[in-house]
């Protein structure tokens, strides 16, 4: 099953995608993580993406589409994948459908996690991310057991370079302008399930599972 997980930045997509991936035994594929990896590796793609990412704007479609196509061709994605942060434009959604159709596959379900803007800004400003494995913590709500160190892999945790208030506002604006229309694209085709993203992680996970059982 190819599952698309959507929602504004800070809605908890990454956290929920990781849980779903473990639960469904299929990989979580995050374009944000793939791009951060490319930056760490110093690859051409990483260099091309850096400026857009730090400003909170979208990396050009052709870059992320090439990345995702390469990733979905890998063997571990044969049984399916949880797409986290992709597609983020209607052009990406159309290309995803085309790419999957060529392999006789399709998007099985689209879940949109809904959270209001004030809560998002609060969540993101406190967010701490492991530079090594991508695990996410929060300064107040979920601090790592040892300050500055990831509970999962003992890598260093810090604020992402794009988790500052200016970039967050830009990312939210980008979401409204470019990504919200993707919800209409899927909604029109009857493929979209909306889930309330407020409250605890377990509650949201349960709501997603309920939504998937009717999708
Ligand atoms: P994320 O980790 O999903 O919040 O993504 C971090 C940043 O990576 C975004 O603000 C964009 O600059 C870039 N990015 C991630 N996924 C995409 C995508 N599907 N299309 C364009 N840019 C993306």
Count other C-beta atoms under 10 Å from residue 185's C-beta.
18
- What is the strand order of the sheet 107-114 is part of? 28-30, 81-84, 2-6, 107-114, 192-196
The verdict on whether 39 is a catalytic residue reads no
Which residues, 6+ apart, have CB-to-CB distance to 28 below 8 Å? 14, 17, 18, 20, 21, 81, 82, 84
Summarised one tens digit per residue, pLDDT across range 100-110 is 999 999 999 99
Q: Return the residue whose CA atom lies nearest to atom 14 of ligand 1.
A: 32
Summarised one tens digit per residue, pLDDT across range 78-137 is 999 999 999 999 999 999 999 999 999 999 999 999 999 888 988 889 999 998 988 889
Answer whether 180's CB lies under 8 Å from 192's CB.
no
Answer whether 162's CB lies under 8 Å from 173's CB.
no
What is the three-class DSSP state of 105?
coil
Cβ of residue 32 lying under 6 Å from some atom of ligand 1: yes
* Structure tokens given for 174: 């980008």
* Closest atom, ligand 1, to C-alpha of 52: 12
The verdict on whether 88 is a catalytic residue reads yes
**What's the rounded mean pLDDT across residues 19-36?**
95
Q: Name the residue among 162, 118, 122 with its Cα closest to residue 139.
A: 122
Q: Could you tell me the pTM of the whole model?
A: 0.88
């Amino acid at each position: 099953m190819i599952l698309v997980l959507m929602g504004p930045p800070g809605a908890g997509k990454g956290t929920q995608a990781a849980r779903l991936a473990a639960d469904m035994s299929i990989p979580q594929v995050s374009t944000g993580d793939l791009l951060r990896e490319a930056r760490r590796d110093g690859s051409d793609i990483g260099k091309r993406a850096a400026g857009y990412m730090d400003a909170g704007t979208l990396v050009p479609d052709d870059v992320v589409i090439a990345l995702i196509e390469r990733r979905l061709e890998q063997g571990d994605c044969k049984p399916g994948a949880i797409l986290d942060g992709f597609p983020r434009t209607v052009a990406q959604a159309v290309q995803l459908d085309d790419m999957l159709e060529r392999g006789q596959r399709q998007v099985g379900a689209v879940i949109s996690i809904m959270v209001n803007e004030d809560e998002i800004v609060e969540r993101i400003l406190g967010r701490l991310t492991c530079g090594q494995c991508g695990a996410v913590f929060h300064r107040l709500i979920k601090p790592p057991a040892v300050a500055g160190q990831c509970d999962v892999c003992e890598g260093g945790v810090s604020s992402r370079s794009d988790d500052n208030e200016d970039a967050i506002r830009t990312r939210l604006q980008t979401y409204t302008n470019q990504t919200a229309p993707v919800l209409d694209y899927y909604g029109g085709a009857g493929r979209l399930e909306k889930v309330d993203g407020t409250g605890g992680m377990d509650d949201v996970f349960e709501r997603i599972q309920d939504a998937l059982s009717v999708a």
